[in-house]
Structure 1
Amino acid sequence: MISMDLSGKVAVVTGGSRGLGLAISQGLARAGASVAIASRKIETCEAVAAEIVAAGGQASAHAFHAGRWADCDRLFAEVTERWGGAQILVNNAGKSPVAPSSVETSEELYDMVFAVNLKSVFRLSALFGAQMKAAGSGAIVNISSTGTLRPDPSFAPYAAAKTGVSLYTTTFAQEFGPEVRVNTVMPGPFHTDATKAWSRTQGFTDYARRVLPLGRAGEPREIVGAVLYLVSDLAAFTTGACIKVDGGHSIAKSGDGPPPS
């Protein structure tokens, strides 16, 4: 029987303690998965894990920096030791700082954007993907951005890095198929703690009402359905795909410029 029941499966969620990652961690737990929550601040991960356990689920907390290769190797080892491996990987961790202009973008900022948004996607997909393939099944979901479809000079390095995330989806879907399915979810503008500086401003509200088909930014809970679909049996014939969850941002009316930031 095809369903979204994830009982008996272990899911790893990077950046899983806040924003979209938190909503995804909670959604996977509600669907029955044991969730390994990985993020930079271990205390926050522990608090989320405790909430999941208190609600009757299973979870573990892991300190993790997405821009460090060694942290990827350590996370893989910890999850394998604690849970015996994983059947689901959600590469959600990312960062989108902006500079005043391209010429004022420092090498340090440039390197950090690419490291945080790309390095762990590659390394964790390689490690867990190989493990899943050897075990006979698994699903990887990479979180990209509609910024790759509507790039703006203010966030060019970020958009380029997230384009690389989508490329990794395609290559890993080929490398680890047919046992492992690899797909992308591409969020548009969402209300999170990381976007509060602009997503709730009047400027963005006016922009959204003017050019987005759904007329607003998303709430974190609204990303969960796409992820659950892609990691469940309902998506058994889906790999190398991209689901846009963006309120129509990718088809926003042209000529209105980028959203205020």
Structure 2
Amino acid sequence: MGYADELFDLTGRVVVVTGGSRGLGRAMAFGAARCGADVVVASRKYEACVAVSEEIERETGRAALPHAVHVGRWDELPGLVDAVYDRFGRLDALVNNAGMSPVYDDLTTVTERMFDAVLDLNLKGPFRLSVLAGARMAAAGGGTIVNVSSTGSLRPRPAIVPYAAAKAGLNAVTVGLAHALGPSVRVNTLMCGPFATWATRGWQEDPEALAEGVRPHALQRIGAPEEVVGAALYLVSDASSYTSGATLRVDGGMP
């Protein structure tokens, strides 16, 4: 095993990825398994979690636990943490990836129900899950938490105001929890730019809008889901052992 392999080795560790059945979450779950971790694929639809978990086990030989959970529902989150410990007896890394930004016609059509749903999934849920998992990580001697945020939290556009506000709050949660759970548990933000996932499918189907949207970025293109994996592995592995309360941007060079 080479030096880089040792830095990113996750053998014997357990990594939970919320929103892990598709998009960036799926790519990160596969990446962790390929580095030796057993993984938990958590998402709302159990069948989708099962399909991805079976694929991970088949391709990597690692154990993968499917678990259906709505991260925006506070009372469902203790069950996820309990399921991880019941199956594996440990939890080493949590990737809070689940999120959504609903489409609305204009800001006057944003309802209280929509606004609350966006905050529940993108902010309240990750906070609650991090506290539950982080407390047990700290009691066991350590772990790492990665909050997946968005460059929209820094450059909010009219079409994503509730989502941008929630992700800005998540950025603050990262720093606060890094100090609350330290020194044994590290907490960092993985701030993502435009990626080719289901969430951006409308944008991808409009070549002119896509070209205009990515033109200001240094790399002038949308990212592939696999291109987030290296950054995610850095944050969940010992390669980032002196990194906590930090924000790592993976956005193709946002202006």
User: TM exceeds 0.5?
Assistant: yes
The partner residue of 2:43 within 36, 39, 42 is 39
Aligned residues: 250
Question: Partners in 1 of 2:205 and 2:155 — Cα distance?
Answer: 20
State the Cα distance separating 1:154 from its structure 2 match. Answer: 1.7
- What amino acid maps onto 1:192 in structure 2? T
Other-structure match for 2:27: 23
Moved over 6 A (4+): none
The partner residue of 2:239 within 224, 229, 234 is 234
State the Cα distance separating 1:201 from its structure 2 match. Answer: 2.1
The partner residue of 1:6 within 10, 13, 20 is 10
The question of whether the paired residues in 1 share the 8 Å contact of 2:175 and 2:187 is answered with: yes
Question: Partners in 1 of 2:76 and 2:224 — Cα distance?
Answer: 30
Q: Does residue 106 of structure 1 match 2:137?
A: no
Aligned-residue CA RMSD in angstroms?
Answer: 1.2
The partner residue of 1:52 within 33, 51, 56 is 56
The CA deviation string for residues 69-125 of structure 1, in whole angstroms up to 9 with x for no partner, is 111111011111111120100000001113111111111111111111112211110
Unaligned runs of 5+ in 2: none
Other-structure match for 2:101: 96
Give the alignment's TM-score, normalised by structure 2. 0.95
- What amino acid maps onto 2:181 in structure 1? F
Identity of aligned residues (%): 51
Question: Partners in 1 of 2:88 and 2:205 — Cα distance?
Answer: 39
Question: Partners in 2 of 1:97 and 1:218 — Cα distance?
Answer: 21
The question of whether the paired residues in 1 share the 8 Å contact of 2:214 and 2:222 is answered with: no
Q: Does residue 185 of structure 1 match 2:187?
A: no
The question of whether the paired residues in 2 share the 8 Å contact of 1:189 and 1:199 is answered with: no
Other-structure match for 2:75: 70
